Amino acid sequence: MKAFVCTSCTADGGFLDVVRAGLPEVEVEGIDCMSGCTRAQTVAFRASGKVAYLFGEITEADMDDLRRFVALYAASADGNFPDARVLGGLRLKAIARIPG
């Protein structure tokens, strides 16, 4: 699994370090602009053979939900969830779910 953090959403790109520290088991890469500017800070997740997710308006307060998402996503065969409520507050911050 890989996570991508938009480095254009914050002036110093500092949120990348927050996500890396909060998700040490995930390979986290900074990327220049994911076109989620109206809902900055954006974070995306993708894994081979699974749908990809793009979340917006992510803050440090969302780290518990992100950790829960990572565990559920890793355990899912295809990245889909039968009920979005398991994603906690992230279900309201989803911008896109992209087929794998």
What are the residue boundaries of the structural domains of the chain, listed by start? 2-98
pLDDT in tens, the chain (100 residues): 999 999 988 767 789 999 999 999 999 999 999 998 899 899 999 999 999 999 999 999 999 999 999 999 999 999 999 898 999 999 999 999 999 8
3-state secondary structure 43-75: EEEECCCCCEEEECCCCHHHHHHHHHHHHHHHH
Q: Is 87 helix (H, G, I), strand (E, B) or coil?
A: helix
Q: Which fold has domain 2-98?
A: Glutaredoxin (3.40.30)
pTM for the model:
0.93
